[in-house]
C-alpha cells in the first residue's frame, strides 16, 4: 500500500485551521515543529484540562484528501489545513489502518498511528453542517468518525507535498482505530 502527501500544514496557536506550508519538520517524540500540539504530553486543550500529564498520542493529525472530495460533493468547500490536520494524504485508507500501523512519509519520517480524531462542535462553527458529514451512525448503528487519524512521531525529518507514503502494518491481530 502506498500513497502521496498532498499538503502539509501547521499552526503555532490553538486555532481550528492550520496554514499550508511548503515543508514541515517532524520531531521524534514531539510532533510538528512550530505547531501548537507539539509536545511529549497532551496539548489539545480539552485533554490538558482533564489530565495534563497524559502522553501526547495526538502529535500529528492526518486526513485523507478523499474526504475533501466527498465534502465538496456534499456542497462544502473544504481545503487542506482547514480541518486542522498537519498532513493531507491521497490513496491511503487512513481510516482502515489498525492501531500501531506505521506511515513512512518521504525518506525519513515515520509516524505510528495511535487512533481516530474525535470531531467536535468546532467543525460546525467553522462550516455549519460539516460535523454531520464527518461523524454519524452507519446502517448498523455504529458511530463512524471520518475526520482523520492521529499519530506519534517515531523518526523525524521533513515532509513536503509530493512525498511518497509507505504503509507498514503491525503483526496481527490488528486492533481497530478508536478515538484518542
Q: What is the DSSP letter of 178?
A: -
pLDDT at 146 exceeding the cut of 90: yes
Average pLDDT rounded to a whole number, residues 33-47: 92
- pLDDT computed for residue 174 by the predictor: 96
- Distance, in Å, from the CA atom of 115 to the CA atom of 30, rounded to the nearest integer, reads 17
- pLDDT computed for residue 47 by the predictor: 81
Task: Please check whether the domain covering 2-168 is classified as CATH 3.30.2290.10.
Answer: no
Cell 451512525 locates to 137
Residue 44 near residue 52, CB atoms below 8 Å: no
- Distance, in Å, from the CA atom of 124 to the CA atom of 101, rounded to the nearest integer, reads 30
Quick check: pTM over 0.85? yes
Residue 34 near residue 12, CB atoms below 8 Å: yes
Work out the pLDDT band at 48, boundaries 50, 70, 90: confident
- Distance, in Å, from the CA atom of 106 to the CA atom of 92, rounded to the nearest integer, reads 14
Residue 35 near residue 171, CB atoms below 8 Å: no
Each residue's pLDDT tens digit, 160-175: 999 999 999 999 899 9
pLDDT at 1 exceeding the cut of 80: no
The per-residue pLDDT of the chain, averaged, comes to 95
Amino acid at each position: 500500500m502506498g500513497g502521496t502527501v498532498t499538503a502539509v500544514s501547521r499552526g503555532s496557536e490553538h486555532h481550528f485551521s492550520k496554514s499550508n506550508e511548503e515543508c514541515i519538520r517532524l520531531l521524534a517524540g514531539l510532533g510538528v515543529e512550530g505547531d501548537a500540539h507539539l509536545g511529549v504530553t497532551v496539548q489539545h486543550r480539552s485533554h490538558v484540562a482533564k489530565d495534563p500529564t497524559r502522553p501526547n498520542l495526538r502529535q500529528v493529525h492526518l486526513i485523507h484528501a478523499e474526504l475533501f472530495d466527498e465534502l465538496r460533493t456534499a456542497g462544502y468547500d473544504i481545503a487542506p489545513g482547514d480541518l486542522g490536520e498537519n498532513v493531507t494524504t491521497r490513496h491511503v485508507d487512513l481510516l482502515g489502518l489498525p492501531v500501531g500501523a506505521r506511515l513512512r512519509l518521504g525518506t525519513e519520517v515515520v509516524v505510528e498511528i495511535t487512533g481516530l480524531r474525535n470531531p467536535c462542535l468546532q467543525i460546525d462553527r467553522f462550516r455549519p453542517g460539516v460535523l454531520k458529514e464527518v461523524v454519524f451512525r452507519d446502517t448498523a448503528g455504529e458511530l463512524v468518525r471520518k475526520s482523520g487519524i492521529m499519530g506519534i512521531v517515531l523518526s523525524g525529518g521533513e515532509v513536503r507535498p509530493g512525498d511518497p507514503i509507505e504503509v507498514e502494518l503491525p503483526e496481527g491481530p490488528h486492533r481497530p482505530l478508536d478515538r484518542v
